[in-house]
Amino acid sequence: MFILPNVFEGGSRPLCELELCLLRLSHDPANPWLLLIPKRPQITEICQLSEADQGLLVKEISFASNLLLKEFAPDKINVGALGNMVPTLHVHVIARYRNDRAWPGPIWGTQVPPNPAELDQIERRLKKLLAEIIK
Amino acid sequence: MFILPNVFEGGSRPLCELELCLLRLSHDPANPWLLLIPKRPQITEICQLSEADQGLLVKEISFASNLLLKEFAPDKINVGALGNMVPTLHVHVIARYRNDRAWPGPIWGTQVPPNPAELDQIERRLKKLLAEIIK
Q: What is the pLDDT of residue B113?
A: 83
Residue B58 is nearest to which of A58, A83, A108, comparing CB atoms?
A58
Q: What is the pLDDT of residue A112?
A: 85
- Cβ of B79 within 8 Å of Cβ of A80? The answer is yes
Minimal-distance CA residue of chain A relative to B44: A76
Q: What is the pLDDT of residue A114?
A: 79
Residue B104 is nearest to which of A62, A78, A85, comparing CB atoms?
A85
Low-confidence ranges of chain A (pLDDT < 50): none
Minimal-distance CA residue of chain B relative to A46: B62
- Cβ of A59 within 8 Å of Cβ of B54? The answer is yes
Q: What is the pLDDT of residue A134?
A: 82
Residue B81 is nearest to which of A44, A54, A79, comparing CB atoms?
A79
* Closest to A86 measured CA to CA, from A23, A10, A1: A10
Q: What is the pLDDT of residue A88?
A: 97
Contacts of A59 in chain B (CB under 8 A): 51, 54
Q: What is the pLDDT of residue A113?
A: 83
Low-confidence ranges of chain B (pLDDT < 70): none
Contacts of A54 in chain B (CB under 8 A): 58-59, 62
Residues of chain B whose C-beta is under 8 A from some C-beta in A?
44-47, 51, 54-55, 57-59, 61-62, 65-66, 69, 76-85, 87, 96, 103-106, 108-109
A115 Cβ neighbours under 8 A, 6+ residues apart: A29
| Shortest alpha-carbon distance between residue A19 and chain B (Å) | 16
* Closest to B12 measured CA to CA, from B135, B96, B122: B122
- ipTM associated with this complex: 0.96
Q: What is the pLDDT of residue A64?
A: 98
Residue A83 is nearest to which of B76, B87, B105, comparing CB atoms?
B76
Class of the CATH domain delimited by A6-133: alpha beta
Domain boundary assignment for chain A: 6-133
Q: What is the pLDDT of residue B112?
A: 85
How far apart, in Å, are the Cα atoms of A61 and each of A23, A55, A56, A118, B80?
Answer: 10, 10, 9, 24, 12
pTM: 0.97
- Cβ of B47 within 8 Å of Cβ of A54? The answer is no
B116 Cβ neighbours under 8 A, 6+ residues apart: B29
How far apart, in Å, are the Cα atoms of B105 and each of A37, A82, A87?
Answer: 20, 9, 13
